[in-house]
């Protein structure tokens, strides 16, 4: 059975809900705080592929860095967006739950059922 990895920010309410749900179910998982342990560009690309979404769908549009970089005003390539997410973790929507060949954006937290 594939190990579950949760990419999260521990202070995020949804991340805490996912963490609690997995713990309550007795699921063995690894929690990665991507603010202290940044997700490399290659891994971001891999997660996007596993989720089946373009990089733009993983952006946190309400973050101040999103506005500062004017991400809603210009067109960026997939690689440019991945580079920006690797450089500015606040741009990455969370939590991302990965299990084997599949990954989901567990937002809202009840989407967790899709991967368990």
Report, as residue numbers or ranges, the catalytic residues. Answer: 12
Number of H helices, E strands in the chain: 4, 4
Alpha-carbon distance 64 to 61, whole Å?
8
Alpha-carbon distance 86 to 92, whole Å?
9
Per this entry, what is the length of the chain?
Answer: 116
């Amino acid at each position: 059975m594939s190990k579950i990895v949760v990419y999260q920010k521990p202070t995020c309410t949804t991340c805490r809900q996912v963490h609690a749900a997995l713990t309550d179910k007795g699921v063995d998982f690894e929690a990665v705080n991507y603010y202290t342990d940044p997700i490399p560009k290659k891994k971001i690309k891999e997660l996007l592929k596993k989720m089946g979404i373009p990089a733009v769908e993983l952006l946190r549009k309400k973050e101040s860095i999103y506005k500062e970089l004017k991400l809603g005003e210009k067109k960026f390539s997939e690689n440019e967006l991945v580079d920006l997410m690797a450089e500015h973790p606040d741009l990455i929507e969370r939590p991302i739950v990965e299990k084997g060949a599949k990954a989901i954006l567990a937002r809202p937290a009840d989407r967790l059922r899709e991967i368990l």
